[in-house]
């Protein structure tokens, strides 16, 4: 299972641990991923995703999954977020 946010695509970053003697060793900064279930009013179903806590806060700020996806640029979304955004647009256009 990859350590990647399903909505915004946050992935691990890399850096160094620096000791008191300034010796550098490689380390990895993993995103804080949580399992979250969102309800989509447009799709009328629950959507279970692994999202970073930053994405979770942003979704709450926008007032839910549907407003977040419709307002966010598609280039800033992960593949799963893009797929959900297309489903929501199809449902809103009446197909």
**Does the pLDDT of residue 95 top 80, yes or no?**
no
Domains of the chain by range and CATH? 13-93 (2.30.170.40)
Residues 20-76: tens digit of each pLDDT? 999 999 999 999 999 999 999 999 999 999 999 999 999 999 999 999 999 999 999
pLDDT at 1 over 90: no
Instruction: State pTM to two decimals.
Output: 0.87
Query: Residue 5: which H helix or E strand, with range?
Result: none
94 pLDDT exceeds 90?
A: no
The span from the CA of 20 to the CA of 30, in Å, is 23
Confidence of residue 80 (pLDDT cuts 50, 70, 90): very high
- Strand (E) positions, 1-95? 13-18, 24-29, 33-40, 45-52
Q: Give CA torsion, residues 62, 68, 71, 74, to 10 deg.
A: 150
Shortest CA distance to 4 belongs to which of 26, 32, 24? 32
């Amino acid at each position: 299972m990859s350590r990647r946010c399903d909505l915004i695509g946050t992935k691990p970053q890399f850096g160094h641990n620096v000791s008191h003697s300034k010796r550098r060793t490689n380390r990895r900064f993993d995103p804080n991923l949580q399992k979250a279930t969102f309800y989509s009013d447009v799709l009328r179903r629950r959507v279970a995703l692994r999202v970073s806590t930053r994405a979770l806060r942003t979704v709450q700020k926008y007032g839910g999954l549907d407003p977040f996806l419709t307002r966010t640029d598609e280039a800033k979304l992960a593949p799963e977020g893009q797929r959900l955004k297309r489903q929501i647009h199809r449902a809103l256009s009446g197909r």
